[in-house]
Amino acid sequence: MLDRFNREINYLRISITDRCNLRCVYCMPEEGIKLIDHRSILSLEEITEFTKCAVKIGINKVRITGGEPLARKGAVNLVRMLAEIKEIKDLSMTTNAILLPKYARELKEAGLMRVNISLDTIDPDRYRAITRGGEITDVFNGITAAIEAGLFPIKINCVIKKSINEPDAVAVKKYCDANGLTARFIYEMDIEKGEFGIVHGGSGGDCENCNRLRLTSDGLLKPCLFSDLSFDVRKFGCEQALKLALEQKPKCGVGSTSNKFYNVGG
Ligand code: SAM
Ligand code: SF4
């Protein structure tokens, strides 16, 4: 469906948890995070019901994200439930890959088509520093598991500070080229200040062509990452929340004090 700026809105990102097994420096504070109460988290059935409603207004692309989506119990079941919605032509997940050795095959069998994996460096010490304790061999094992499971194409999300020529980014690109992976470079953003840039090698950061809506794990439908607008799907009901989000999706993001990467999902 078109929004009021004639943008075709066909892409839904669903954050299924605000929990994560890493603490990336640009995403989450090390401690003191106010996590969403378990009782507020949408059930797998509620998420599926909302998505069924969303495909009726033209959503045909769905990405599961988080927090770390594989840290939520039932993530594979959710994939199975969403994969049954025949209008969805592209069902993907963004993950840090730490748990992919355990779940890649099950995810593929459940109907997940592909994964985006976050990796900002191929240096073990730098990875440990950026993620505050992550082990890069877990990610490499996760990537291997995704390849073996056939979750193609596998895209690597690499956050950059200023340039795609930074040493970490150059090394990630080389690694991707050598392993049949697609690298996407994302400028580090500041949601509060509304600082964002266009994604190299992918879509995003381009307000004029934005096609997205976002659903948080506690049921807030957000028309823009860089806006505080949100519509509670439990309060308004799925149809009305979708209608309001489409009607009020801003022309361009300016900044948000309520959104965080780990609760909206990037
Ligand atoms: N945990 C999963 C992961 O890391 O892939 C999914 C959720 S994570 C919030 C989604 C994406 O947001 C990741 O690719 C991550 O690199 C990106 N991200 C987080 N904080 C960011 C920031 N400040 N600027 C740009 N990208 C960011
Ligand atoms: Fe976790 Fe992903 Fe945020 Fe890193 S970017 S802290 S892996 S949610």
> Is residue 45 in a domain?
yes
Atom index in ligand 2 nearest the CA of residue 98 equals 7
CATH number of the domain at 168, please: 3.20.20.70
Please choose, from the candidates 230, 227, 185, the residue with its C-alpha nearest in 3D space to the C-alpha of residue 204.
Answer: 185
| Ligand sitting nearest the alpha carbon of 205 | 1
Residue 4 lies in a domain: no
Question: What is the per-residue pLDDT across 123-144, written as a single tens digit (0 to 9) for each?
Answer: 999 999 999 999 999 999 999 9
* Percent of the residues in the chain that have a pLDDT greater than 90, as a whole number: 91
185 bridge partner residues: 158, 200
Which pLDDT score, from 0 to 100, does residue 62 have? 98
The reply to whether 233 falls in a domain is yes
Residues 31-35, mean pLDDT to the nearest whole number: 87
For the packed helices 238-248 and 44-56, what is the interaxial angle rounded to 10 degrees? 60
Give the model's confidence band at 194: pLDDT under 50 very low, under 70 low, under 90 confident, else very high: confident
Domain of residue 204, residue span: 11-264
Q: Which atom of ligand 1 is nearest to the CA of 191?
A: 23
When computed from its CA atoms, the radius of gyration of the chain, rounded to whole angstroms, is: 17
As given in the structure block, the two tokens for residue 98 are: 């730490």
Interval 218-235: pLDDT, tens:
999 999 999 999 999 999
121 within some domain: yes
pLDDT of amino acid 265: 87
Q: Is 204's pLDDT higher than 80?
A: no
**Closest-CA residue to 14 (of 100, 94, 71, 111):** 94
In a domain, 250, yes or no: yes
pLDDT score of 266: 80
Both tokens assigned to 240: 């009305």
Question: Is the residue at 135 inside a domain?
Answer: yes
The model's pLDDT over 241-266, given as tens digits with 9 standing for 90+, comes to 999 999 999 999 999 999 999 989 88
Which uninterrupted H or E stretch holds 244? Answer: helix 238-248
The verdict on the CB of residue 168 being under 6 Å from ligand 2 is no
2 falls within a domain: no
218 in a domain, yes or no? yes
Q: Tally the domains of the chain.
A: 1
